[in-house]
């Protein structure tokens, strides 16, 4: 009789993971959902700011048009995040970093929860909401060490305005980060896609590249996604439940 654990985590996935020397994981907002972080497209209106959908307030154009408003949006997001903690999905992935000869975790999330869970090397494809970047000299600073009364904060080095060090819609990803993720995705034997609707590029192209190069694709998501048809196995469920079972 199949237990819930084995039914939700097909034996082939366990077998492939046991035998794998290189594993590539791409996570999205769904991996943080059980920590209480609202997803972007999960409804509930969390991804709207003063009537603007998140792809408008989180856009390059908005930084030019109204940087203080962009800071207000990210200050709000940090306010939500500061009481939240990693969940068992983050903890499982942190354990896996020493489990495989080559383990790569690339995330679209900006919440910092993978590092908080102990993952030492995280490819943060879309930046990090806890970091500010100077718009002139590009110096970076932890937002929590800046004057939170001053918006936009002034760069401690050159005094120019700073912005959130987050990749907004219409902006290129941090130099080198995407390229490293692509090289690891192309070389992996197992590619695990956790909690993403796979709609945002170029991040969503990473599993497609892994597949082209012969990787075994596994998706963990309560819903079917844009990538489900490409996956060898789609495990329907929540990351905080499924990943610890895969860990067994
Ligand atoms: C780029 C940071 C080159 C900000 C984010 C026009 C002009 C310019 C570019 C474009 C354009 N048209 C299209 C593009 C490309 C654009 C894009 O892909 N748009 C899409 C929407 C069509 N991409 C870009 O702009 C990228 N840059 O292309 O540069 C360029 C440059 C200039 C000119 C031309 C080209 C930059 C994209 C980065 C944007 N920044 N975040 C912020 O956080 O505010 S993206 C944002 O979406 C987040 O990072 C998020 O992670 C990401 C993807 O969303 P998901 O993580 O998948 O979250 P979502 O809510 O969608 O889904 C959650 C999933 O979890 C669901 O499937 C759900 O079922 C599941 N789930 C729920 N609960 C659980 C769960 N799963 C498991 N367990 C659970 N418990």
User: Do residues 23 and 102 make contact, with C-beta atoms less than 8 angstroms apart?
Assistant: yes
The whole-angstrom separation of Cα 144 and Cα 112 is: 13
* CB distance 219 to 197 below 8 Å: no
pTM here?
A: 0.95
For residue 89, give the ligand 1 atom closest to its CA.
Answer: 78
Domains, the chain, ranges and CATH?
11-37+85-126+173-246 (3.40.50.1220), 54-83+133-166 (3.30.1600.10)
Q: Is 126 a residue of the active site?
A: yes
Ligand 1 contact via 153 beta carbon (within 6 Å): no
**Residue matched to tokens 């439940």:** 241
Helix (H) or strand (E) holding 90: helix 88-96
Give the C-alpha separation, 118 to 28, whole Å: 18
List the residue whose alpha carbon is closest to atom 10 of ligand 1: 170
In a structure prediction context, what are the per-residue pLDDT tens digits for the chain, which is 248 residues long?
A: 445 444 567 889 999 999 999 999 999 999 999 999 989 887 666 678 999 989 999 999 999 999 999 999 999 999 999 999 999 999 999 999 999 999 999 999 999 999 999 999 999 999 999 999 999 999 999 999 999 999 999 999 999 999 999 999 999 999 899 999 999 999 999 999 999 999 999 999 999 999 999 999 999 999 999 999 999 999 999 999 999 999 87
What integer pLDDT is reported at residue 202 of this predicted model?
97
8 A C-beta contact, residue 196 and residue 225:
yes
């Amino acid at each position: 009789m199949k237990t819930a654990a084995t039914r939700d985590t097909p034996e082939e996935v366990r077998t492939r993971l046991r035998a794998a020397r290189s594993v590539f994981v791409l996570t999205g907002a769904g991996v943080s959902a059980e920590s209480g972080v609202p997803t972007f497209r999960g409804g509930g209106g969390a991804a709207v700011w003063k009537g603007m959908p998140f792809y408008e307030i989180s856009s390059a154009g908005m930084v030019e048009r109204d940087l203080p408003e962009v800071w207000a949006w990210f200050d709000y997001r940090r306010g939500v995040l500061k009481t939240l903690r990693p969940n068992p999905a983050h903890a499982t992935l942190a354990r896996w970093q020493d489990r495989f000869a080559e383990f790569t975790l690339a995330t679209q999330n900006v919440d910092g929860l993978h590092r908080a869970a102990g993952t030492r090397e995280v490819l943060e494809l879309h930046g990090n909401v806890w970091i500010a970047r100077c718009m002139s000299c590009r110096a970076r600073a932890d937002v929590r060490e800046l004057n939170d009364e001053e918006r936009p904060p002034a760069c401690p080095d050159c005094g120019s305005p700073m912005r959130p060090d987050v990749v907004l819609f219409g902006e290129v990803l941090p130099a080198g980060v995407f390229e490293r993720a692509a090289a690891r995705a192309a070389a992996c034997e197992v590619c695990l896609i956790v909690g993403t609707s796979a709609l945002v590029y170029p991040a969503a192209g990473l599993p497609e590249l892994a597949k082209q190069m012969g990787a075994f694709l596994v998706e963990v998501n309560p819903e079917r996604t844009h990538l489900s048809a490409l996956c060898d196995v789609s495990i329907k469920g929540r990351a905080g439940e499924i990943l610890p079972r895969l860990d067994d």
